[in-house]
Amino acid sequence: MELSTVAAIMSTPRLLPPQPHRVGAGFHAEGWREPLALLDPFILVDHFRMSEAAFAPHPHAGFSAVTYLFDDSATGLVSRDSLGGEHEILPGGLHWTLAGRGVMHDEFPAEAGCEAHGLQIFVNLPAEQKLRAPTVMRLAAEQMPRRVGPGWQAVQVFGGTAELALPWPTALAIVDVKAGASFDFTLADGERGFAVVIHGRGQAGELPLSAGRALCLPLGGRAVLTADEPLRLACFSGRPLYESIVRHGPFVMSDEGQVVAALQRFQSGGMGRLCPRQHTHV
């Protein structure tokens, strides 16, 4: 279905079912990938748990690969890239890999036998930025702005007043709502958004909220989310790009020609090299 068609028919909040995803015994997630028009400018959101290395070094191009670890994560993640970086993402921290024209990347738990709990987010890049130089941005938990309201508190992970130079207007806030309290999730004019329920139960009008559900709002929409029990939400918002894309594995480009060129860069080493990790890290 065309982006404009899907966007036009959605005028009220709706629930998006998750798609389970598992890689071996060490990675499992509930994710949201479709319909793209309702997620735009996000391409993928996975609520994941990782207990062992599940991915070999792999390329990304044409988008940003973003990892956020919840504050209850039992361990951090080590993130490596072909730019020469090797960083530990601590619980509550954010790691933003703007892949641009291409970069090699991998992540794995910092401690053997411990489970990392977080969000893996793919954010689309505007067509004119898909071939920009790759870069990495990071934020620690203590650098993220906090705000409070009646019965709720929120951490602004990125966007809003968070300290990141984002390539396109997007935002993520982690909101904890006490039982019996409500949170007003309101989008700015021209923005689309959705709230993923991380844990707890509640309701948005007549729509039931429970862990693994995502409440999608229409353009410039609003919903009052009421907690029946302590509720944690990951609230995403952003300005849609309304651009066609071609997805091919780890590449998200504007057309087939860019995908072919990305494959050639990867195969020729133009995205750099990243050797398989040494097991002494975990």
Q: Are 10 and 38 in contact (CB under 8 A)?
A: yes
Across 5-17, b (16+ Cβ under 10 Å) vs e yields eebeebeebebbe
pLDDT number for residue 278: 65
Q: Which pTM does this prediction carry?
A: 0.93
Residues in the annotated binding site: 58, 60, 105, 107
Return d(Cα 225, Cα 238) in angstroms, integer.
19
Low pLDDT (below 70) residues in the chain: 1-10, 278-282
Q: Which among 166, 97, 162 is positioned nearest to 126, based on CA atoms?
A: 166
SS3 label, residue 166 = coil
Q: Which amino acid is at 93?
A: G
Longest dimension (CA), the chain: 57
Task: Take residue 274 and report the two structure tokens written for it.
Answer: 């990243």
Give the DSSP letter of residue 211. Answer: T
Residue in the block written with tokens 């130079």: 165
Residues at the annotated binding site for Fe cation? 58, 60, 105, 107
Encode pLDDT of 189-239 as tens digits. Answer: 999 999 999 999 999 999 999 999 999 999 999 999 999 999 999 999 999
By CB atoms closer than 10 A (0-12, 13-18, 19+), residue 95 is buried
And the tokens for 277?
A: 């990790």
* Residues 23 and 84 sit within 8 Å (Cβ to Cβ): no
Candidates 1.10.10.10, 2.60.120.10, 3.40.50.620, 3.40.50.10740; CATH matching 9-275: 2.60.120.10
CA distance 219 to 41: 12
**Calpha distance 45→67 (Å, rounded):** 10
pLDDT of residue 26: 85
Q: Residue 9: which H helix or E strand, with range?
A: helix 3-9
3-state secondary structure of 261: helix
Residue 86: its H or E element: strand 86-89
Q: What pLDDT does 7 receive?
A: 47
Query: Which one-letter amino acid corresponds to residue 162?
Result: A
